Amino acid sequence: MAEIVRIEKDAILRLLLPRAADAHKGSFGSVVAVAGSYAYRGAAALCVEGALRGGAGLVYLAGIEPVVQLALTRTPEVCILPCRMAKNGGIDPAHAATLRAHFEGRGAVLLAGPGLGENAKPLLAQLCRAPAPWRAAVLDADALNALAETRHPHLPPDTVLTPHPGEAARLLGKGWTAADVQRDRPAAARALAGQYGCVAVLKGAGTLVAAPDGGLWQNRTGNPGLARGGSGDVLAGILAALLAQGLAPVHAAVCAVWLHGAAADKAETRRGQLAMLPQDLFEAMGALLAEMGR
């Protein structure tokens, strides 16, 4: 079995290259976030800001009116794809076909799951139906629960899954529990990557990035201030942005978890672990990237 590689800052600097002087928004790809519901509006706002702060050239949000209004108040840079609200407060699944058609041939990265609620299952089934129009995808939160229920075989190319231990157990099935995942996190991460044939990011203390070939990387940045709702939404957005900029799935995942954790360490110095919020990561990450010359 391959050794566990520790993620180091030097590796991040080699992967995140400075931007060319003649770059434009088309140089850095597009992210399409299908996120949020009436009850979970903040999740969408956090993931699209994560994608914008992570450097994507264009970020679209497919969401219901209350969700997009909140996102626009935080980040007017986001492009809006308005969706009807279903009776349960989620996105009407009928919009999936329209989204597929709109992004056909455009090479966008799909970010699905944060705050979607119970409509995630029919939405995911349509969004990921082969041949999917997405160049890559990040499946997080409710999209992972939907995937666990359906064992959907048609994941887009270069998909990255981002489960916490409970979601990982549901994805693995076969009697796995969150306690089992925590008992042997490397085995669980490798099992996820092998079972779904894609990169898996097992979140938690010492977040692990696993590749389908058995490769495994461990992150050592971050602190318990991340242990609150919304932190994972920020990570999903950063990861989708790095995929949109052309990083390979493993490289994008390695960079995203390191940056997310390092931003949390910087935020801790200003807010403390008890009071820091996921939204504090954005200012901290900006300062971090400026120090890195990126």
Distance CA 168, CA 208 (A): 12
Strand-by-strand arrangement of the 109-112 sheet:
4-6, 216-218, 208-210, 199-202, 159-161, 136-139, 109-112, 30-34, 58-63, 79-82
Helices 120-127 & 95-102 angle (0-180, nearest 10): 30
Q: Tokens in use for 188? A: 């669980």
pTM of this structure: 0.97
All structural domains of the chain: 4-16+28-291 (3.40.1190.20)
Q: Can you tell me whether residue 135 is helix, strand or coil? A: coil
Return per-residue pLDDT of the chain as tens, 294 residues: 679 999 999 999 999 999 999 999 999 999 999 999 999 999 999 999 999 999 999 999 999 999 999 999 999 999 999 999 999 999 999 999 999 999 999 999 999 999 999 999 999 999 999 899 999 999 999 999 999 998 656 899 999 999 999 999 999 998 899 999 999 999 999 999 999 999 999 999 999 999 999 999 999 999 999 999 999 999 999 999 999 999 999 999 999 999 999 999 999 999 999 999 999 999 999 999 999 999
Q: Is 215 exposed, middle or buried (0-12, 13-18, 19+ CB in 10 A)?
A: middle
